[in-house]
Structure 1
Amino acid sequence: MTATTQAPAVVPGSSAHSHGAGSVVPVQTRSARPTSYSPEDFGTPTGREVNWKHTPMDRIAALLVDEATESAAENAIEYDLSAVPDGFVIASTGHHAAVRGEVFRPEDITGALAWHHGENALHLRIPANAELSEPVRVDLRGRGGHAQAHIIIEAMPNSHGRVVLYHSGSAQYAQNVEIIARDGSALTVITVQRWDDDAVHLAAHQARVDRDATLTHIVASLGGSVVRVNPSVELAGTGSRGNLFGLSFSDSGQHLESQVFLHHKGAETVGDVLYKGALQGSGARSVWIGDVLIGPDATATDSYEANRNLVLTDGARADSIPNLEIQTGDIRGAGHASATGRFDDEQLFYLQARGITEDEARRLVVLGFLTEIVQKIGIDSLEAELIGAVEEELAQEGTR
Structure 2
Amino acid sequence: MSDQQTVANVVRNATTHNNKGDLFTSFDVEDFEVPGGRDEVWRFVSLRRLRGLHNGTFAAQAPAQIAVEGPSEVTVEQVSLDDDRVTAAGAPVDRIAAQAWTSSESATLITVPDRAELTEPVTVTVTGAGLDATTFGTVMIQTGANSTATVVVRYAGSGTHADNINWVIGEGSRVNAVVDADWNTDAVHVGQQSIVVKRDATLRHHVATFGGEVVRITPRVAFEAPGGDVELTGVYFADAGQYIENRLLVDHKVPNCRSNVLYKGALQGDKSSPLPEARTCWVGDVLIRAEATGTDTYETNRNLVLTDGARADAIPNLEIETGEIAGAGHAATVGRFDDEQLFYLRSRGIREEDATRLIIRGFFNEVLNQIPVESVRDELIARVAGELERNEN
1:273 aligns with 2:261: yes
Alignment root-mean-square deviation, CA = 2.0
1:392 aligns with 2:392: no
Question: Which one-letter code corresponds to 1:22 in the other structure?
Answer: R
Select 1:103's aligned residue among 78, 89, 92. 89
Most deviating of 59-68 and 17-26: 17-26
Q: Secondary structure at the match of 1:122?
A: strand
1:188 aligns with 2:182: no
1:44 aligns with 2:30: no
CA contact (8 A) 1:218 1:246 kept: yes
Mapping for residues 332-371 of structure 1, pairs under 5 Å: 332-371=326-365
Identify the residue that residue 4 of structure 1 maps to in structure 2.
Answer: none
Mapping for residues 150-189 of structure 1, pairs under 5 Å: 150-189=138-177
Runs of 4 or more, structure 1, over 6 Å off, are none
Q: Secondary structure at the match of 2:266?
A: strand
CA contact (8 A) 1:28 1:50 kept: no
TM-score normalised per structure 2 = 0.93
Shift of residue 68 of structure 1?
7.0
Identify the residue that residue 274 of structure 2 maps to in structure 1.
Answer: none
Identify the residue that residue 323 of structure 1 maps to in structure 2.
Answer: 317
Cα separation, 1, equivalents of 2:328 and 2:44: 26
CA contact (8 A) 2:268 2:308 kept: yes
Cα separation, 1, equivalents of 2:368 and 2:79: 36
Q: 1:154 to 1:323 in 2, by over 3 A?
A: same
Shift of residue 212 of structure 1?
0.4
Residue by residue over 1:213-240, the C-alpha shift from the partner in whole angstroms, topping out at 9 and shown as x without a partner, is 0111111000100000000001221111
1:197 aligns with 2:185: yes
CA contact (8 A) 1:36 1:107 kept: yes
Q: 1:29 to 1:238 in 2, by over 3 A?
A: closer
CA contact (8 A) 2:71 2:118 kept: no
Residue by residue over 1:141-169, the C-alpha shift from the partner in whole angstroms, topping out at 9 and shown as x without a partner, is 21311011111011110001110001111
TM-score normalised per structure 1 = 0.91
Question: Which one-letter code corresponds to 2:65 in the other structure?
Answer: E
Residue by residue over 1:149-199, the C-alpha shift from the partner in whole angstroms, topping out at 9 and shown as x without a partner, is 111011110001110001111110001011001110111211101111110
Cα separation, 2, equivalents of 1:78 and 1:284: 29
Q: Secondary structure at the match of 2:378?
A: helix
Identify the residue that residue 248 of structure 1 maps to in structure 2.
Answer: 236
Identify the residue that residue 78 of structure 1 maps to in structure 2.
Answer: 65
1:58 aligns with 2:48: yes
Question: Which one-letter code corresponds to 1:43 in the other structure?
Answer: E
Identify the residue that residue 285 of structure 2 maps to in structure 1.
Answer: 291
Shift of residue 264 of structure 1?
0.8
Select 1:31's aligned residue among 15, 21, 38. 21
Identify the residue that residue 20 of structure 1 maps to in structure 2.
Answer: 10
Q: 1:137 to 1:146 in 2, by over 3 A?
A: same
Cα separation, 2, equivalents of 1:324 and 1:254: 28
Most deviating of 83-92 and 181-190: 83-92
Identify the residue that residue 5 of structure 1 maps to in structure 2.
Answer: none
Shift of residue 388 of structure 1?
0.5
Cα separation, 2, equivalents of 1:354 and 1:234: 48
Residue by residue over 1:107-165, the C-alpha shift from the partner in whole angstroms, topping out at 9 and shown as x without a partner, is 11101111111131111111110111211111222131101111101111000111000
CA contact (8 A) 1:181 1:187 kept: yes
Percent identity over the alignment is 39
CA contact (8 A) 2:62 2:129 kept: no
Identify the residue that residue 106 of structure 2 maps to in structure 1.
Answer: 120
Cα separation, 2, equivalents of 1:280 and 1:173: 25
Residue by residue over 1:305-337, the C-alpha shift from the partner in whole angstroms, topping out at 9 and shown as x without a partner, is 010001100111000000101111210000011
Select 1:310's aligned residue among 304, 310, 313. 304
Q: Secondary structure at the match of 2:360?
A: helix
Shift of residue 28 of structure 1?
9.0
Most deviating of 36-45 and 274-283: 36-45
Cα separation, 2, equivalents of 1:192 and 1:233: 19
Most deviating of 22-31 and 352-361: 22-31
Cα separation, 2, equivalents of 1:266 and 1:299: 7
Select 2:220's aligned residue among 232, 242, 250. 232
**Which residues of structure 2 form unaligned runs of 5+?**
271-276
Select 2:125's aligned residue among 132, 139, 143. 139
Shift of residue 105 of structure 1?
1.3
Cα separation, 2, equivalents of 1:366 and 1:161: 31
Shift of residue 344 of structure 1?
0.4
CA contact (8 A) 1:20 1:34 kept: no
